[in-house]
Every structure is written in structure tokens, then in C-alpha cells.
Structure 1
Amino acid sequence: MSHTILLVQKTSAASSKTYIECPSVAKAMDEVISMYEEYLKNKFPHRERIEFDVNEVLEMVYNLPDCAALVFDPRTATYIPHDKSWIQKQVIARAQSRAS
């Protein structure tokens, strides 16, 4: 388990910048997926069931003004930065592990 910090800017406004601390990469990817679920719940408040494809989550990540992850490496005691494409790959892996 590697402590992970998600850095997210949801809109073009600088004030939308935020961060989320997670105990692991898997939990951080759960947070990314949850962000998309919340978006859909807000967009379709009267729907009882929200369904989506992982590709929609990947598109959300791609379209965010800024999104990055810092993953703690205990060997060097530093945080390793990762970009959107890495996050997208991790979201796919997490979605696959949740599906099995």
C-alpha cells in the first residue's frame, strides 16, 4: 500500500483545484471513479440507478484541466509524480479488479 495524493482541477477556475489523500493507489482510483459517479448523480438526480462504462471515466480524466497523482515510494521516501495517462491505466486496472 502506497500513500497516494490525487491532485485534481475540475474546472478552468483555479479555485477548483483540490487534493485527495488515499492510503493506496487502488483507493485513489476508487476516488476517481467516485468523482464520475457523483458527476452523473448531479447531472441526473432523478435516476435511481446510475450506469456507466469505464471509457466514460477515462474521458472525464482526459478532459479535466489538470489531474495528477503523487505515489509514495518507501524505498526512496519520496513521492513519484504520475500524469493523466498513468491514472487512466490505473483506473482500467482498478475497474477490472472490481469486476472480478
Structure 2
Amino acid sequence: MNGICGIYESRLKKLNPRFLSLTYEITELFEFLDQITDLSCLVYQPDTMIYIPFNKEWIKEKLYIQLRCQASPPEKTVRI
């Protein structure tokens, strides 16, 4: 999933070379993904030793989860 974000971020940098820092909304990333006509992700399954293809919606779901976790810091555990 980091690779997919990296591709989008590289594109943003090419389109905006004067900016030192870029931010984007997840909806913008998803719009970029929607422009790609054939997008899937092969995920290795160690128990069966085969790669399983997953579609664009699965990729979006995994990206959403990953980016949400990055955006919100983990809760601190306090021991009493």
C-alpha cells in the first residue's frame, strides 16, 4: 500500500515542483486510483503458497485503514 501512495505522491510532486511540502485528502487519492482502468493487488498466501488477486475496492479499503492509523496516534496505556 505504501507503494501505491508513493506513486500518487510522485505524481503530485511532478505536477507541483515548486512546493516543498504537499498534502492531500484520501478522496483525491481514490480519484487518482479510479482513473487507473486495470488495478489489482496480488497478495501472497503462505498457507497455500499462491498469490490471490484483490480488486480496486479492496485496495481502497486497505489504504483507508492504513492512512487512518497513520493519522491518529495510538492510545497510550497507563498502568495503575
> Normalising by the residue count of structure 1, what TM-score does the alignment of the two structures yield?
0.68
Moved over 3 A (4+): none
- The DSSP-based 3-state class of the residue aligned with 2:70 is helix
1:60 and 1:89 map into 2 onto residues whose CA distance is 15
- The structure whose residues are more often strand, as a share, is 1
CA deviations 1:41-75 (Å, max 9, x no partner) are 00010011111001111111111122110001111
Of structures 1 and 2, the one with the larger relative CO (CA 8 A, separation 6+) is: 1
- Partner in structure 2 of residue 3 of structure 1: none
- Partner in structure 2 of residue 31 of structure 1: 3
Task: List gaps (5 residues or longer) in structure 1.
Answer: 1-28
- Partner in structure 2 of residue 52 of structure 1: 24
- Tell me if the contact between 1:58 and 1:91 (Cα under 8 Å) persists in the aligned partners: no
The structure that has the greater radius of gyration is 2
Letter in 2 for 1:69: C
- What is the Cα deviation at residue 78 of structure 1? 0.8
RMSD over aligned CA atoms reads: 0.9
Q: Is 1:74 matched with 2:49?
A: no
- Tell me if the contact between 1:36 and 1:57 (Cα under 8 Å) persists in the aligned partners: yes
- What is the Cα deviation at residue 87 of structure 1? 0.5
- The DSSP-based 3-state class of the residue aligned with 2:23 is coil
- The DSSP-based 3-state class of the residue aligned with 1:92 is helix
